[in-house]
Structure 1
Amino acid sequence: MSLPAHAESLRCVGGIAAEGDSRLSVAHKCGQPLLRDSYCAPVYYRNTWHLVPEPYASLHVPCQQVDEWVYDRGPGNLMATVRFRAGVVQSIDYGRTPR
C-alpha cells in the first residue's frame, strides 16, 4: 500500500530532493535509484481531470513523458518513489513496495 504524499521531500546523503527539482538535481543529491520506469502519460486539460480528446491529443500533445525512480531507504524505512513529469519532480510517494 502506498500513501499519497503532497509536497513531500526526500532526505538524501547529498541534500533534500523536493517537488520542482530536476532529474539531474535528484541524481546529484540522492545518487542512482534502485529501480527506474518511464512511460508516456495521457495529457489532461489544465486544472481538470478531462483528457484532451482525439485527434487533438495525437496531433498536438499526444502524451507527456513520466519517469519514476524508486529509492530503497534502508531497513525500517519505506521505499520512496520520485515521479518526474517533463523532467521535473511532480511528486514523492512512500510505500512498502513500488506501485
Structure 2
Amino acid sequence: MNIHRLLAGLFIALCLSDVGFAMRCKQSLVFEGDSKYIVERKCGPPLAKDIYQDSSLLVNNFDIPYGIASDVYEVWTYQQSPNEFLYEVLFQNGRVIAISANRSF
C-alpha cells in the first residue's frame, strides 16, 4: 500500500472525527505540541501504537535530487475505561499534531 495514501486516509479520518485539542489523562492534560515522553509520563503506555514512515525525494530548483526527507508518524490509542472515549493521538517526528476522540460503543 502506498504510504501517501495511508497517511492521507489517516489524516482524513482524524479530520472527520471529533477532533479535540486536549486529552485528559488522570490529573493531567495532553496538548498538541507535547512530546511522546510527556504523553507517556502523563498517560502511561498506550493500548496500541502504529508507526508509519513517509520519505520524499528532495530536489533543488533545477530538479536535481540531493537527498531524502523522512517523517515518522505514530498513532497511539488510549482508553481509560470501556465507557470512556477512545482517543487517538497522532505524532509527527515525536510531537503531538492531532488528538481525536471517538465513542467506542
Unaligned runs of 5+ in 2: 1-12, 60-64
Write the deviation string for residues 44-96 of structure 1: whole angstroms up to 9, x where unpaired.
Answer: xxxxxxxxxx56388231x3000110001313222000011010000001124
Q: Which amino acid aligns with 2:87?
A: A
Q: CA deviation at 1:5?
A: 1.2
Count of aligned residue pairs for this structure pair: 85
Provide TM-score, normalisation by structure 2.
0.68
Bigger CA drift: 30-39 or 71-80? 71-80
Structure 1 residues 55 and 18, CA gap change in structure 2 (3 angstroms)? closer
CA-atom RMSD in angstroms: 2.5
Higher helix proportion: 2
Aligned to 2:90: 83
Cα distance in 1, alignment partners of residues 33 and 102 from structure 2: 21
Percentage identity across paired residues of the two chains: 27
Cα distance in 2, alignment partners of residues 77 and 39 from structure 1: 27
Cα distance in 1, alignment partners of residues 81 and 46 from structure 2: 13
Cα contact 1:20–1:89 (8 A) shared by 2: yes
Provide TM-score, normalisation by structure 1.
0.71
Aligned to 1:59: 67
Cα distance in 1, alignment partners of residues 99 and 54 from structure 2: 17
Larger CA Rg, structure 1 vs 2: 2
2:33 to 13, 17, 20: 20
Aligned to 2:9: none
